[in-house]
Amino acid sequence: MRKLRTAAAAAAAFTGLLLLAPTSASAASPSASPSASGTAKPVVNSVGTSFLTATTLASGQDADVPVSTGDYLYWAFPAAEGQTATVQVKVTLPDAADRHGAQTWTVELFDGLRRRQSCTAGPQNGTAEQSAATLELSCTLRQIRSWAEPWSGDPLPGTYYVRLSTTDIPQTDLGLASTVHVHVATKGGADDAQPEGGSLKAPLVPPVNAGATAAPSAAAPSPSASATYAAAPAEEETHWYSDLFSGWNTRWWWTVAGGVLAALAGVLGYTLTRHPRGHRHHPHRPAPVPHQAPPGQPRQDSWQ
């Protein structure tokens, strides 16, 4: 009897271990952070050094990259209409013993046309003292618009680039090993695609004396004085010469008149410059030489 009890207790303990084994294994195994869609996105361990070699990141994806201090670092991410993207950067600086001064880092955002976009929130520039271990930066992009004027730099749907660089660093600290963590987050969507700061609540140009069409038997309501004034078109002012220079022949009148005036001006100018009247000058003639008598015989004195 005692042996049966011992065997039953051992069987029960073994069954409990089998039931607890899956739960313990699932609790011990690490799980990746799920994204908004419910699927985990892998962490990117690469970075580009130019716009053409930028590493692509999805919304909600992280990047952990060991970098060399002083290099230009590029990532790219897509943004759709109505979304507002935020880029968060955390830089793990080299050891304080290896550095020789403060370091200034900057994060910038560019659109697909390489145009620099302004940040609406977050410390875009940061300076870390020599004793600091980490430096955090962030940049919130303006809401993506569905259209923009050709002269404006509004953000449009497409690819955006993140550039991380050091703008002020001691020359001797260039090339030190550091680690960069980048996180891209977006909020909003096509349903939230409206201008920043509010939405249009009323038409820009309300209709004049608007309303439903009245029945034929009903008396037509008399419009107010303000509505009548707003609906009445302004009369064009006319003059005695309005019919002379109006219609399809307007340009012909101006063409003929301009040609006649040009011809008269040319004739008058030629007459005044080439043939002036009343001011003719004759060439100077030399004065006549007076008549001289031929030389005669030499006169003899009477005393001879």
As a whole number, mean pLDDT of residues 18-42 equals 45
- State residue 43's pLDDT score: 84
Q: Is the pLDDT of residue 146 over 90?
A: no
Residue 209 banded pLDDT, cuts 50, 70, 90: low
Q: Is the pLDDT of residue 16 over 50?
A: no
Which H, E and C letters describe the chain, residue by residue? Answer: CHHHHHHHHHHHHHHHHHHHHHHHHHHHCCCCCECCCCCECCCECCCECCCCCCEECCCCCEEEEEEECCCCEEEEEEECCCEEEEEEEEEECCCCCCCCCCEEEEEEEECCCCCEECECCCCCEEEECCCCCEEEEEEEECCCCCCCCCCCCCCCCEEEEEEEEEEECCHHHCCCEEEEEEEEEEEECHHHCCCCCCCCCCCCCCCCCCCCCCCCCCCCCCCCHHHHHHHCCCCCCCCCCCCCCCCCCHHHHHHHHHHHHHHHHHHHHHHHHHCCCCCCCCCCCCCCCCCCCCCCCCCCCCCC
Per the model's pLDDT, the better-predicted residue between 132 and 152 turns out to be 132
Tokens representing 130 are 């020599």
Residue 165 banded pLDDT, cuts 50, 70, 90: very high
Sign of CA dihedral 113, 118, 122, 125: positive
Mean of all residue pLDDT scores within the chain: 75
Look at the pTM and tell me if it is higher than 0.85: no
Residue 35 banded pLDDT, cuts 50, 70, 90: very low
Over residues 232-259, the pLDDT tens digits come to 566 777 777 666 666 666 777 788 889 9
As a whole number, mean pLDDT of residues 139-152 equals 83
Which residue ranges form the domains of the chain, and what is each CATH number? 59-192 (2.60.40)
Highest mean pLDDT among 104-108, 141-145, 151-155: 104-108
Q: Is the pLDDT of residue 86 over 80?
A: yes
Provide the percentage of residues in the chain whose pLDDT is more than 90.
Answer: 32
